[in-house]
Amino acid sequence: MIKTKLLITTLLMSVLVTSNAFAAKKVHRWKLAETWPTNFPIFGDTSKNMAKMVKEMSDGRLIIQIHSRNKHKAPLGVLDMVKAGQYQMGHTAAYYYKGKDINTMFFTTMPFGMVASEQYAWFYHGGGMELMEKVFDKHRILAFPGGNTGNQMGGWFRKEINSLDDLKGLKMRIPGFAGEVLAQVGAKPTNIPAGELFTALERNTIDALEWVGPSLDLRMGFHKVAPYYYTGWHEPGAELQFMVNKRAYEKLPKDLQAILKTAMRVAAYDMYTQSTHESGKNLASISKDYPNVKIKTFPNDVMTALRAANQQLLADFASKDTLTKEIIESQRTYLEQVRPWTNISDQAYLNSAK
Amino acid sequence: MIKTKLLITTLLMSVLVTSNAFAAKKVHRWKLAETWPTNFPIFGDTSKNMAKMVKEMSDGRLIIQIHSRNKHKAPLGVLDMVKAGQYQMGHTAAYYYKGKDINTMFFTTMPFGMVASEQYAWFYHGGGMELMEKVFDKHRILAFPGGNTGNQMGGWFRKEINSLDDLKGLKMRIPGFAGEVLAQVGAKPTNIPAGELFTALERNTIDALEWVGPSLDLRMGFHKVAPYYYTGWHEPGAELQFMVNKRAYEKLPKDLQAILKTAMRVAAYDMYTQSTHESGKNLASISKDYPNVKIKTFPNDVMTALRAANQQLLADFASKDTLTKEIIESQRTYLEQVRPWTNISDQAYLNSAK
């Protein structure tokens, strides 16, 4: 009987000792709401890539199920749903929520702002993450970079733009802040659902539109009806965002927090790489099959006017809110520091090493 | 007694069930040999960043101890030490080993080759990883991108280069393949240990040298004695490499393999971001404190001659080995596809949005 008692005690202790390890095997099941439709290329690949890395690295202890807009029906409600804890996380773009909180606008991209490499440097070394934390804290959300599209194209135009006059009254699908800048120089910005864009452009309902770049424009077919493809100025490095409900994040064990943060970080960079690849591939395809497509850059007077309008609007925003002013100042001074480097490195190389 | 037996059986089963979880707590201790000296900035931060992420994500189950060159005394022996299993992994640059295996040369950077964003796209979507695997397989090594310096500067020159003639007989510290290209156009490339570089430049032992870019050049002080800082052509996107002993990797459980791969991938991207930041910061510091430093781009005849020499040398290499030819072809066709995109995105933007 004493031997039996000893055996039972030993076994009990074994169970207790291993119970911690056993507890670590608890599976956390999260849901992510994404702004995009099911199987949307590149953007949708990014949340899938992130969830897959999390599953593999956590040995199945953190499972993130993705709901596309087809499921949750609220593409621009992601911030609210994550804030409410209805979803533990989301994949969206911060600037969609500028109507709710103007300060969310600055973390995706800004006209005449930073390119992807510069903006990542600002996020991770120039105070960008700290400012984003300040803005999203009031929404009880942790926000992280969620994938870069690279420099977005200025859009598809049915007619060539030879001077500022050609923009007067021009009907263009260009949403958000860039649309406000264009309105300042006399264009008529409008928003049209994605599914109706091709027909609107084909039937002259609009004169021009911007979408993303070759990576996502090719499948839309715009090059078939609007042969002037303008280089970009308004979204030089559009970065999506992952949003995480703060309380849900704090409930995760430390190792799963690290796994989630790392997976989001690499998935964001990976999207920039994928965007670069798909843009190169699709641009080659457009150039080959549609040799009449002409790549153009806006004339100097247009660029000067757009730049001035942009600066005026930013000054207006800065005068209204201390935090807005702080973010605009941070981005301006960081760009002033980093751009000379971009100029003497990649720009000088691309200009000289043809 | 039956009850006791049942209790013992139940407890035994509990121990068995939890033993898998318990086994997963095994700690794997790895050593990494890096080419750099202790606490070398940026490069050294990258291996530390990687090891820290691995530790946090694995909850201490994979611990990577870093040995700098000060410890292992074999900065250019990293490939051999990883191959032999003396170290489970290394942090170095593939092109240091071109004397041992010419095909390792192509995975760091090539003159007139891809910039960082293009090269990441080639690695991850254009067949680069598959080719790197092919090359390193014979060394029983898995190689991965290990951090990008960004576009490297063409170097510090005591005198201005106004034509190809000014390169004839010019003594320049520029090691590796770029040195061979320069030799083709009449320069006298030489290699000098890092610690003696400043004095060599100051005392006219050499006329010029290249190092990295403002991120790592500032601390070397070259700007104090050679006021002409030339933009780059020879290392447009230098990517370091993590090298992992294949057998050691295969012995890791699947989740630790995923953790290691993800940590290396993000640490590599992070180095590019850090390099961008440090370059911007240090260039601003040089410009402020040394206004006599002049940023220059080589004249057209120099660039044309360097480009021709580079192409000739590549053709020579390609004629000697099938795999070499395959890699050169892959890089050439990928660059032809991706560069038009870089030209109409970042280049056009940087040229127009001053």
pTM recorded for the entire structure? 0.94
Interatomic CA distance for residues A258 and A106, integer angstroms:
26
Q: Which fold has domain B29-151+237-277?
A: D-Maltodextrin-Binding Protein; domain 2 (3.40.190)
Predicted pLDDT of residue B19? 47
A31 DSSP β-pair partners: A65
pLDDT tens digits for B81-110? 999 999 999 999 999 999 999 999 999 999
> Residue B310: what residue type?
N
Question: DSSP letters of B314-334?
Answer: HHHHHTT-HHHHHHHHHHHHH
Question: DSSP letters of B264-287?
Answer: HHHHHHHHHHHHHHHHHHHHHHHH
Cβ-Cβ contacts under 8 Å, B253 against chain A? 59
As given in the structure block, the two tokens for residue B236 are 């447009």
A305: which residues sit within 8 A by CB, 6+ positions away? A164, A185
Place of tokens 């060394």: B139
> Residue A251: what residue type?
K
Interatomic CA distance for residues A350 and B343, integer angstroms:
7
Interatomic CA distance for residues A114 and A4, integer angstroms:
72
Predicted pLDDT of residue B209? 97
B295 DSSP β-pair partners: B229
Q: Which fold has domain A152-234+291-320?
A: D-Maltodextrin-Binding Protein; domain 2 (3.40.190)
Residues of chain B within CATH 3.40.190.170 domain(s) are 29-151+237-277
Per-residue confidence band for B5, with pLDDT thresholds at 50, 70 and 90: low
Which of A18, A213, A353 is nearest residue B345 as measured by Cβ atoms?
Answer: A213
Predicted pLDDT of residue A175? 86
Please report, rounded to a whole number, the percentage of residues in chain B having pLDDT higher than 70: 93
> Residue A283: what residue type?
L
Interface contact flag, A262 B266, Cβ < 8 Å: yes
> Residue A227: what residue type?
P
The answer to whether domain B155-236+294-340 has CATH 3.40.190.10 is: yes
Cβ-Cβ contacts under 8 Å, B266 against chain A? 262, 265-266, 269
pLDDT tens digits for B235-264? 999 999 999 999 999 999 999 999 999 999
Interatomic CA distance for residues B258 and A156, integer angstroms:
42
A33 DSSP β-pair partners: A67, A90
As given in the structure block, the two tokens for residue A216 are 């996502």
Cβ-Cβ contacts under 8 Å, B339 against chain A? 280
Q: Which residue of B has its CA nearest to A237?
A: B346
B304: which residues sit within 8 A by CB, 6+ positions away? none
Per-residue confidence band for B17, with pLDDT thresholds at 50, 70 and 90: very low
Interatomic CA distance for residues A341 and A246, integer angstroms:
36
pLDDT tens digits for B26-63? 999 999 999 999 999 999 999 999 999 999 999 999 99
Interatomic CA distance for residues B244 and B64, integer angstroms:
12
Burial of A338 (0-12, 13-18, 19+ CB in 10 A): buried
Read off φ and ψ for residue A274, nearest 5 degrees. -65, -40
Predicted pLDDT of residue B328? 98
Mutate to test the interface with A, among B344, B347, B351, B354 (most CBs of A within 10 A): B344
**Does B298 or A19 have the greater pLDDT score?**
B298
Interatomic CA distance for residues B47 and B147, integer angstroms:
9
Interatomic CA distance for residues B114 and B314, integer angstroms:
15
CA atoms within 13 A on the CB side of B323: 16
pLDDT tens digits for A313-353? 999 999 999 999 999 999 999 999 999 999 999 999 999 96
Interface contact flag, B15 A11, Cβ < 8 Å: yes
Residues of chain B within CATH 3.40.190.10 domain(s) are 155-236+294-340
- With residue A155 as reference, give the H or E element that holds it: strand A155-157
A199: which residues sit within 8 A by CB, 6+ positions away? A205
Helix A116-125 / helix A322-342 crossing angle, nearest 10 deg: 120
Burial of A292 (0-12, 13-18, 19+ CB in 10 A): exposed
How many Cβ atoms are within 10 Å of B16's Cβ, its own excluded?
10
Residues of chain A within CATH 3.40.190.170 domain(s) are 29-149+235-289+322-354
Read off φ and ψ for residue B40, nearest 5 degrees. -65, 130
Interatomic CA distance for residues B87 and B95, integer angstroms:
19
Rounded to the nearest angstrom, the minimum Cα separation between A83 and chain B is 26
Is residue A234 a contact partner of residue A178, using CB atoms and an 8 Å limit?
A: yes
Predicted pLDDT of residue A1? 47
Is residue B21 a contact partner of residue A18, using CB atoms and an 8 Å limit?
A: yes
ipTM score of complex? 0.93
Q: In chain A, which stretches have pLDDT less than 50?
A: 1, 15-21
pLDDT tens digits for B146-191? 999 999 999 999 999 999 999 999 999 998 899 999 999 999 999 8
B233: which residues sit within 8 A by CB, 6+ positions away? A349, A352, A353, B111, B112, B154, B298, B303, B306
Instruction: Report the relative pairing of strands B155-157 and A208-209 from DSSP bridges.
Output: unpaired
Averaged pLDDT of chain B: 94
Q: How far is CA A327 from CA A99, A138, A333, A338, B182, in A?
A: 17, 16, 10, 16, 46
Residues of chain A within CATH 3.40.190.10 domain(s) are 152-234+291-320
Cβ-Cβ contacts under 8 Å, B342 against chain A? 276, 280, 350
CA-based nearest residue to B53, from A288, A321, A56, A258:
A258
A183: which residues sit within 8 A by CB, 6+ positions away? A189
Rounded to the nearest angstrom, the minimum Cα separation between A314 and chain B is 17
Cβ-Cβ contacts under 8 Å, B53 against chain A? 258, 262
Could you name the CATH architecture of A29-149+235-289+322-354?
A: 3-Layer(aba) Sandwich (3.40)
